[in-house]
Amino acid sequence: LMRIMMNRRARLGIKVNLQARGTDSVGAYVDAVTPGGPAARAGLRSGDLITTVGGQPVLQPPKPRGRGREPDRGTSRQSLPGLRLIELAARLAPDDTVAVEFRRGKERKTAAVVTQGEPEFAMEGGPPSRPFALRFFRPDPSAAGPGQAVTDRFEIHSPGDFLPGSPLADLELTALNPQLGAYFGATDGVLVIRAPAESGLSLQGGDIVLAIDGRKPAGPTHLLRILRSYEPGEAFKIDVLRNHRRTALTGKVPVRP
pLDDT digits over 27-52, tens only?
A: 999 988 888 889 999 999 999 999 99
Number of domains comprising the chain: 2
Residues 26, 71 within the same domain? yes
Q: CA-to-CA distance for 12 and 33, rounded, in angstroms?
A: 9
Q: Are 154 and 134 in contact (CB under 8 A)?
A: yes
Residues 197, 147 within the same domain? yes
Residues 129, 205 within the same domain? yes
Residues 170, 217 within the same domain? yes
Residues 144, 245 within the same domain? yes
Q: Is residue 163 part of a domain?
A: yes
Q: Is residue 198 part of a domain?
A: yes
pLDDT at residue number 208: 92
Q: Is residue 2 part of a domain?
A: no
Residue 257 carries which side chain, given as an amino acid letter?
P
Residues 189, 207 within the same domain? yes
| Residue that terminates a domain, selected from 89, 117, 145 | 117
Residues 132, 41 within the same domain? no
CATH number at residue 53: 2.30.42.10
Residues 71, 112 within the same domain? yes
Mean pLDDT of 73-82: 62
pLDDT digits (tens, 9 = 90+) for 139-178: 444 444 444 444 333 433 333 334 444 556 667 888 887 7
Percent of the chain with pLDDT over 70: 67
Beta bridge partners of residue 114, listed in sequence order? 97
Q: Is residue 109 part of a domain?
A: yes
The domain of 25 spans: 9-117
pLDDT digits (tens, 9 = 90+) for 203-216: 888 889 999 999 99
